[in-house]
Amino acid sequence: MYKSLFLLLPLLYGSACTTPAVETSEIPTADPPGLADLADFPIGGAINEGRVRGDSALLAIVSEEFSSLTATNDMKMYAIARGPGALDFTLPDAFVNFAERQGKRVFGHTLLWHYGFPRHLMELDGEAAEGFINSYIDTVVTRYRGRVDGWDVVNEAMATSGGELRETPWLEKIGKAYIPMAFRAADRADPEAKLFINDFNTERDTAKLNGLLALVEEMQADGVPIDGIGFQMHIRMDTDEELIGRSLAKAAATGLLIHLSEVDIIFNRHDDTQGGGEQIVDKITPELLEQQAQKYESLARLYRENVPPAQRYGITFWSFTDRDTWINGFFDLKDWPTLYDEQLQKKPAYYGFARGLRE
Ligand code: G3I
């Protein structure tokens, strides 16, 4: 099936660049294949359920292009453990129900993260923090057992740069043991779920990747149930492609699943801090959009070249439209990092990525 779709691609997508040299009657009337139809691994998008509700254009993209969905924020601890009382599952339930109605694989993001750390948990001492982690993960993962395919168990455990662990409240309260503890709790609650450690800049910060891989190898040696490594892959137009390939190959050598979990590609720069954007490009041009298309094409190829088929958990796009991207607000920038423009039209980046998925 995939082969025939690949043969159709130049016909279906050619109109983005040139007029196809075929009779109108030869053009198939069926919808063009979505990205998920073109790939032999899952293609995902990150959304919040509330964002897609009532937005038919966004809903059409979600339903036609993706085979996997991640909640941008609906499944984070701050969305569930809102206060000292009982956990609130309003947002994650709505998200999981939506994703299931759409027939998509559901990916859970994320069980433990330092960002947005619920304030009422700050006062817990080490023992109480361990108790909270075990009971929180048990409750959340059990609730969605058999429905959520995989989880980012620990998100951004490594310091922003270099190879050390990030100084999170969990590290301060419990020490390094909080990481294997979280994976063990998730595995007890759903032994079938794929359990990931997820981080950013690991495709280009070799010290950070080495630190992460050392942690992963230690966990594997200790029999900790870890199934995969997530590369967030928030990259820039000047991120070195050979380095990305080497980093993916190095991570794949662990034998674990590899997820490109939050893909976007920016033209500008930042220092990884909120408000830390540097506006280099202030006007988008057709030439820049074409360069971005080539970068998206390369990224799909690099994944296929460096990650063996059985380890391809998939490629997920983060917020995937220039209208909804987190980049502009977070870094205080104007950028165009995704596959869809502000009017939710496919950009050259979309067609570039589709090319990169083809043989
Ligand atoms: O929902 C409120 C809204 O009611 C309020 O008016 C508005 C005003 O600021 O804030 C809204 O909440 C924001 C929420 O996004 C929804 O837009 C939060 O302030 C904001 O902190 C939150 O940001 C999210 C961020 O993670 C923190 O959770 C971004 O959407 C989301 O894209 C981003 O995702 C992270 C990944 O989880 C991990 N990797 C990096 C990635 C990008 O930062």
Determine if ligand 1 sits within 6 Å of the CB of residue 329: no
Task: Go through the domains of the chain in sequence order and give each one's CATH number.
Answer: 43-322 (3.20.20.80)
272-293, pLDDT tens digit by residue?
A: 999 999 999 999 999 999 999 9
Report pLDDT for 32.
78
Report pLDDT for 359.
67
| Burial tier of 246 (Cβ tally within 10 Å: 0-12, 13-18, 19+) | middle
Report pLDDT for 277.
98
CA of 115 to the centre of ligand 1 (A): 10
Report pLDDT for 193.
98
C-alpha 346/C-alpha 341 separation (Å) is 7
C-alpha 262/C-alpha 46 separation (Å) is 8
Determine if ligand 1 sits within 6 Å of the CB of residue 115: yes
Which member of 49, 156, 203, 297 is catalytic?
156
Determine if ligand 1 sits within 6 Å of the CB of residue 167: no
Of ligand 1's atoms, which has the minimum distance to the CA of residue 232? 39
303-340, pLDDT tens digit by residue?
A: 999 999 999 999 999 999 999 999 999 999 999 999 99
For the question of residue 156 being annotated catalytic, the response is: yes
Higher pLDDT, 83 or 345: 345
CA of 73 to the centre of ligand 1 (A): 7
Determine if ligand 1 sits within 6 Å of the CB of residue 119: no
Asked if 148 contacts 196 with a C-beta cutoff of 8 angstroms, the reply is: no
> Which residue puts its alpha carbon closest to atom 25 of ligand 1?
73
C-alpha 177/C-alpha 351 separation (Å) is 44
Of ligand 1's atoms, which has the minimum distance to the CA of residue 326? 32
Determine if ligand 1 sits within 6 Å of the CB of residue 73: yes
pTM above 0.95, yes or no: no
Per residue in 28-64, is it b (16+ CB within 10 Å) or e — as a string?
eeeebbbbbbbbebbbbbbbbbebbeebeebbebbee
Query: What average pLDDT does the chain have?
Result: 92
pLDDT at 18 over 60: no
C-alpha 203/C-alpha 263 separation (Å) is 12
C-alpha 129/C-alpha 173 separation (Å) is 7
Determine if ligand 1 sits within 6 Å of the CB of residue 272: no
Higher pLDDT, 10 or 238: 238
C-alpha 43/C-alpha 89 separation (Å) is 26
> Which residue puts its alpha carbon closest to atom 19 of ligand 1?
116
Determine if ligand 1 sits within 6 Å of the CB of residue 262: yes
Provide Rg for the chain, Cα atoms: 20
Residues found in the chain: 359
Query: Are β-strands 234-236 and 150-155 bridged in parallel, bridged antiparallel, or unpaired?
Result: unpaired
CA of 200 to the centre of ligand 1 (A): 16
Report pLDDT for 30.
59
pLDDT at 62 over 90: yes
Which member of 262, 290, 305, 342 is catalytic?
262
What kind and span of H or E run contains 93?
helix 90-101
Report pLDDT for 137.
98
CA of 326 to the centre of ligand 1 (A): 7
